[in-house]
Chains A and B, each alone.
Chain A
Amino acid sequence: MIDSVSKLSLTLGVLLLASGCAKNFTVVGDIPQPLIESDATIAHVKFSEEFKSYAYEEESTDRALESVGFGEAQVSLFKRIFSSLFTLSEEDSDAVDLKIEPQILDFQYSAPKETKLNLYEIWLKYRLRITDHHDRELADWVVKGYGKTPTRMLSSQITAFNTASNVALRDVGAQLAIGFRNQPSIKEYLAKSQDERRERSAAELASGPEGPEGTEEPADSEAADALSESEMSEDISLAPELADMDSTEEIEAPLAEEAEASPDAGENVEPAAQPLESDPAEQVPTELELADANNFELVFTDENPQEKQP
């Protein structure tokens, strides 16, 4: 009898101990390689020591988790995403076109006990300071990510939390991968950098002993320009439809006003995208058409439009 009670207590004790182990742990990042075409831009991502070793410390004593190590996972995410967009440079040198400094602004989570749902939810908020090679600020971008446990029957708290964290990191990564190069100020800067690079290489070719002579250069340059334009138009057409950036805010970008002028300003979409997507029938009417519309309204303004229909 005493043996049975002891065994039962022991089993319960082990179970309680096992469930109580999940107080401090480290998120293990698992972000796939993005299917994104990289360009020749050389970028340097600067991770501060605080960012690299970031750990969420729980202040409330009511919550089960005490600390969550998040630094490694977020560094791994940013490296993976930006290495797929640009050529990453380990060092901050003159050869670098773009400097990116991420900063974590907020990390929040909700546990099943609090929401009465058997899942964890994670909210992330990052700020990215983007500068050119002269350290001139190009953009100051806030990106938010959300993730929740995808299934409701996970083996442990740690697995559930880790999975939700990875979903949130993937969300941030997806926004960066698709939206980063479409940010107006960055897009303009990258286009300018590409032009400069092209001009430099054209000049090098022209000055070289075996390079093409002057008559051929403009043709190459034109072809490159045409290619560049087609690439840009692809980005433009993609931006309003796919870069659903409702959780992003460009807080201090030089072209922020231009972005706000667009109907999709809330989505940080390049205004130039509109003409490509718009239906010809929906295009802005000419002055003549506007005048006709006014006349039409003036004539029938006091009549019931339905009576005029056949």
Chain B
Amino acid sequence: MNTVLNSVTRLALGLAIIVSGTACTTINVDHIQLEDNIALDEGDSVVILGRHHSAEIETESSLVACIGGKLQRGVKDMRVIPELQFVDDFYPWFEARTAPQHPKKLRQVFDQPGVAQRMEQLGIRYFIWVEGSTERTDSKGTMSCSIGPGGGGCFGFGTWEDTSDYETTIWDVDNFKEVGRISTEAVGTSYMPAFVIPIPMLAQVEGDSCEGMGNQLVSFFNTNKDVIKRAP
């Protein structure tokens, strides 16, 4: 009996390892470039900021960090300033309530004493704003788990759908103009069948959105093929 149980457990474990992360995500990325010439000099830096201006909109910090990492690896000589560091350095100008919503307003922030000087010290050339979030849009199924003297286990099947919708805008600090916009929509369904142990097949919706937006941003700044280095 024990041998059979062990085999079942091993089989379930093996299946879990094989099928984990195999759930699919459908992603749609649209890219609009508003300026022909996207200049990026050596030593220029960009800052990627999430929008948090209302109770409903809370762009995930993890997504912002993920896009930053992707851009840092993908574009040679570009420095990406971490969101938290930037927001603290420029407090109170980029808080949820006070952050500029348009490039014109950004110019007014630059007019404040000390702001332009600090921006110049950091070599900030582009602002990248990410707005949106990933939400659970549907869930179905049931699963029950029990534990007893002889052991425990779960039985059932659960499925849920996550949807992400992000809008990324790129502002050029030199001209205080919007130079590009990337829209990303992703839908992914995750499954979790449970036969003794739950086997998660998770759709990485947020991760896939990051991948899509990050690749698009890398290609956005890839005006000169020579300045791009391959991501490891």
Contact = CB atoms under 8 A, between A and B. Distances in A.
Contacts, number: 75
A128 interface: no
Interface in A144-194: 146, 148, 150-152, 167, 170-171, 173-175, 177-178
A237 interface: yes
Contact of B92 (A37, A148, A167, A174): A174
A69 interface: no
B55 A178 contact: no
A238 B108 contact: yes
A177 B92 contact: yes
Given A1-B149, A148-B55, A170 B108 contact: no
Contacts of A16: none
Interface in A219-256: 234, 237-238, 241-244, 247
Contact of B108 (A1, A146, A237): A237
B91 A242 contact: no
Given A33-B91, A173-B92, A241 B52 contact: no
B114 A35 contact: yes
Interface string A120-158: 010000000000000000000000001010111000000
A151 B108 contact: no
A171 B60 contact: no
A150 B93 contact: no
Contact of B98 (A121, A150, A234, A244): A244
Contact of A32 (B88, B97, B105, B115): B88
A234 B92 contact: no
A34 interface: yes
A237 B95 contact: no
Interface residues of B, number: 27
Contacts of A146: 55
B89 interface: yes
A174 B53 CA distance: 13
Interface string B94-114: 011110100001001101111
B198 to A, nearest CB: 19
Contacts of B112: 35-37, 234, 238
B229 interface: no
A35 B98 contact: no
A35 B93 contact: yes
A151 B60 contact: yes
B118 interface: yes
B211 interface: no
Nearest to B52: A150
A242 B105 contact: yes
A244 B118 CA distance: 23
Nearest to B151: A4
A170 B60 CA distance: 19
Given A151-B61, A237-B111, A238-B108, A171 B95 contact: yes
B62 interface: yes
Contacts of A1: 149
A180 B98 CA distance: 14
B108 A242 contact: yes
A151 B64 CA distance: 12
Contacts of B89: 32, 35
A175 B58 CA distance: 20
A1 B111 CA distance: 72
Contact of A35 (B58, B62, B118): B118
A151 B115 contact: no
B91 A32 contact: yes
B91 A35 contact: yes
A174 B42 CA distance: 34
A211 B90 CA distance: 41
A170 B62 contact: no
A289 B147 CA distance: 85
Contacts of B96: 167, 171
A175 B97 contact: yes
B97 A171 contact: yes
A1 B148 CA distance: 11
30 contacts: A1-B149, A5-B149, A32-B88, A35-B90, A35-B91, A35-B114, A36-B112, A36-B114, A37-B112, A148-B55, A150-B61, A151-B61, A151-B62, A152-B60, A170-B95, A171-B95, A171-B97, A173-B91, A174-B92, A174-B95, A174-B97, A178-B92, A178-B98, A234-B111, A237-B108, A238-B111, A241-B108, A242-B105, A242-B108, A244-B97
- In the A-B complex, list the 5 residue pairs whose CB atoms are closest, starting with the nearest: A174-B92, A37-B113, A32-B88, A174-B95, A32-B91
Interface of B: 52, 55, 58, 60-62, 88-93, 95-98, 100, 105, 108-109, 111-115, 118, 149
